[in-house]
A and B are shown apart, each in its own frame.
Chain A
Amino acid sequence: MPLPYDYVEVLHTKRDRFATEAAWQFFTDQACEHRVLPDGRCDIILRFRSNRTEPLGVITPLVTGAATRFHIVPIAAGTGYIGIRLRPGAAGKVLGIDLRAIVNRGLTGDAAILKIPALKNLCAPVSSIDTLRSRLNTFIDDHTRDLTIDELTAALMDTLHITGGRLPVADMAVLHCVDVRTVHRRIVAATGLTPKQMAMVIQFHRALRLRFDERLDIASTAFEAGYSDQAHMSRIFRSMGGISPARTPDLVLAGLPI
Chain B
Amino acid sequence: MKLGYSIIYVTDVLATVAFYEQAFGLRRRFIHESNLYAEMDTGDTLLAFAGEPMAEMNGLAIRPNRNTELAAGFEIALITDDPRSAYATAVAAGASAIKPPTEKPWGQVVGYVRDLNGCLVEICSPMGG
Contacts and interface: CB of A to CB of B under 8 A. Distances in A.
Nearest to B60: A164
Interface in B44-93: 52-53, 55-57, 59-64, 66, 68-69
Main secondary structure of the interface of B (DSSP, over half): loop
A214 B59 contact: yes
A36 interface: no
Interface stretch (A18-26, A53-61, A154-162): A154-162
A258 B68 contact: no
Interface string A202-228: 000010011001100000000011100
Q: Give the contact-size bracket for chain A.
A: 20 to 34
B56 A161 contact: yes
Contacts of B59: 206, 209-210, 213-214
A209 B64 CA distance: 21
Given A174-B69, A175-B69, A159 B56 contact: no
Contact of A163 (B53, B61, B68, B69): B61
Contacts of B56: 161-162, 164, 258
Contact of B53 (A162, A164, A165, A177): A162
Interface of B: 9, 52-53, 55-57, 59-64, 66, 68-69
Interface of A: 158-159, 161-167, 174-175, 177, 206, 209-210, 213-214, 224-226, 258
